[in-house]
């Protein structure tokens, strides 16, 4: 079995068309067909159903595809790590992040890091905490910013950089907008604007409200912080957002207020794989992050 056969097989499986796959690979169609045929002969099974010019995977072909994709990811990772061991300052870091850290945390950190290590690049991937956790475990990304930092995950190591408060967000027209603090129970009759299902911040809001005796009435759902802020400023409900997302409100139509009962906080940090060692450039970045946040903590920023 040759790597070339595997690459050809994956491309044909993705495109379900031999000639289109050949064009993408910049090789003759006959070469692709021959390599697929040789692979099937070696394995002793048919990997594709042939339907005129189109083809599709057989059940065993789909099983084979799932496994070889993982193998290719690991091979590509191995080549990258060998290259980075020769020069750790020229690697590419595949970094994940959630929407709540996109506006301030991520740009601040990457900007500071690139000043010291300008040759190291980034490939960024946004997602929910669960999506990012799975991506790190499966090797699709190298490490990820997350909040909250998961504990007791068998395949992941979590490192907390700081803990922040989660504040109430109200439109300026709200009767409680002039308060310096409030109890969450005071919002029990208000409609809430929350993140959609799958976002940890939604779960945090629901559990916090239930902790003080009510289930919030969901008026609207969103997928990013700016959407939540906009819906609140339009007077469509109240919400709860992490403090770091509220440092620079884009307008004067919302107010953020500290919640004193219950005390709602979240951890912010990074997750790395438990089952494999970080590549050199990733170690450089991880070491930078620890020093960066240690410095901020010492100076109380």
pLDDT score recorded for residue 170? 96
Phi, psi angle pair for 192, to nearest 5°: -115, 145
We find that the CATH architecture of domain 3-84 is Orthogonal Bundle (1.10)
Query: Which CATH topology does 89-301 take?
Result: D-Maltodextrin-Binding Protein; domain 2 (3.40.190)
Tokens of 199: 């976002």
Its pTM stands at: 0.66
Check pLDDT > 80 for residue 226. Answer: yes
Confidence band (pLDDT; 50, 70, 90) for 156? very high
Tell me the CA end-to-end span of the chain in Å, nearest whole number. Answer: 56
Confidence band (pLDDT; 50, 70, 90) for 301? low
For range 192-218, the mean pLDDT: 94
- What are 51-102's pLDDT values in tens digits? 777 788 999 989 999 998 888 888 887 777 777 666 667 778 999 999 888 8
Strand 265-273 with 156-171, pairing: antiparallel
Nearest CA-CA partner of 233 in 207, 225, 300? 225
For range 271-299, the mean pLDDT: 85
List every span in the chain annotated with CATH 3.40.190.290: 89-301
Check pLDDT > 90 for residue 3. Answer: no
Angle, to 10 degrees, between the axis of helix 280-298 and the axis of helix 105-116?
110
List every span in the chain annotated with CATH 1.10.10.10: 3-84
- What are 107-147's pLDDT values in tens digits? 889 999 999 999 898 999 999 888 999 999 988 899 999 99
pLDDT score recorded for residue 267? 93
Residues in the chain: 301
């Amino acid at each position: 079995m040759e790597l070339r056969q595997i690459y050809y097989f994956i491309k044909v499986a993705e495109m379900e068309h031999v000639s289109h796959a050949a064009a993408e690979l910049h090789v003759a169609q006959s070469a692709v067909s021959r390599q697929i045929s040789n692979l099937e002969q070696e394995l002793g099974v048919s990997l594709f159903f042939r339907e005129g010019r189109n083809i599709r995977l057989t059940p065993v072909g789909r099983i084979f595809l799932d496994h070889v994709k993982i193998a290719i990811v690991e091979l590509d990772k191995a080549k990258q790590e060998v290259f980075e061991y020769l020069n750790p300052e020229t690697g590419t870091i595949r970094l994940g992040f959630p929407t709540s850290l996109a506006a301030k945390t991520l740009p601040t950190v990457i900007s500071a890091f690139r000043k010291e290590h300008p040759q190291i690049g980034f490939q960024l991937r946004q997602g929910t905490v669960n999506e990012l956790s799975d991506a790190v475990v499966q090797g699709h990304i190298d490490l990820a910013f997350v909040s909250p930092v998961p504990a007791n995950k068998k395949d992941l190591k979590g490192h907390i950089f700081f803990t922040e408060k989660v504040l109430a967000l109200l439109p300026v027209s709200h009767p409680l907008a002039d308060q310096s603090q409030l109890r969450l129970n005071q919002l029990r009759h208000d409609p809430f604007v929350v993140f959609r299902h799958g976002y940890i911040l939604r779960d945090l809001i629901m559990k916090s409200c239930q902790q003080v005796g009510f289930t919030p009435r969901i008026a609207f759902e969103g997928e990013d912080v700016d959407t939540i802020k906009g819906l609140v400023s339009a007077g469509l409900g109240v919400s709860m957002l992490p403090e770091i997302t509220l440092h620079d409100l884009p307008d004067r139509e919302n107010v953020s207020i500290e919640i004193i009962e219950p005390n709602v906080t979240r951890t912010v940090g990074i997750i790395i794989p438990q089952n494999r060692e970080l590549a050199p450039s990733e170690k450089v970045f991880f070491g930078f992050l620890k020093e960066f946040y240690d410095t901020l903590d010492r100076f109380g920023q």
